[in-house]
Structure 1
Amino acid sequence: MKLSRYEQESILNYNAGEQTATLYTRDKAVMRKLDTLVADFPDTYKLTGQDEVSKTYSFPKSYVSYRKPRAVSTEQRERARQMMIAKNRAKEV
């Protein structure tokens, strides 16, 4: 079944009284990432339910993180760009 971009939602749910978080998703990219984590770390990440368009996972809520936006200066961006140009040229040789 093909879902619109709007319908490809992910819902993260946890509360202060429990140690686990639950993630419901209809986004294929999120499913692929979490399926890999379930396969690699079965004691930590668990697939708890699925149907034809969605999957539900559980994992420790301590694994949920919030980050501040990365601030990259113009000089850092230019340096990274030049490094990638050099790497790509080295691959061509």
Structure 2
Amino acid sequence: MKLSRYERETIILYNEADSNASIYTHNEKLQRQLKKLHEKYPELVYPGEKNGSGGLSYTLPKKWVRIVPPQVRSEAQKRGLAEVNQRRRERKKEEQNVSGEN
């Protein structure tokens, strides 16, 4: 059964008594991230049952669940980052040109 985008939800559950949280999600990016965490920390992050419609659930330490607001940068910070990124792009292009000449 194909679910609509509205029906493909992510649910994070935890309570004050337990040290673990449960994450149920249809979000593919989050599923990949949780899978990588399970591979790296199999004793802390473990999968639950698949539901048959594309949703996966994982259990992990609830202290890993965070809500982080985006950084607000000043115009000066944005210009500085743009300059750094531009220099990196130029260096990378130079390295590609040098390696292509050999």
Q: TM-score, normalised by structure 2?
A: 0.81
The one-character-per-residue Cα deviations of 1:22-79 (angstroms, maximum 9, x if unpaired) are 0000111110010000011101101011133111100111111233442211100110
Show structure 2 runs of 5+ residues with no match.
95-102
Q: CA RMSD in A?
A: 1.6
Closer, same or farther: CA 47–84 of 1 in aligned 2, 3 Å: same
CA pair 68-26 structure 1, distance change in 2 beyond 3 A:
closer
Q: Residues of 2 paired with 1:79 and 1:19: CA distance? A: 41
Q: Match for 2:29: what amino acid?
A: A
Q: Aligned residue for 1:88?
A: 89
Could you tell me the percent identity over the aligned residues? 28
TM-score by length of 1: 0.88
Tell me which protein shows more helix as a share of its residues: 2
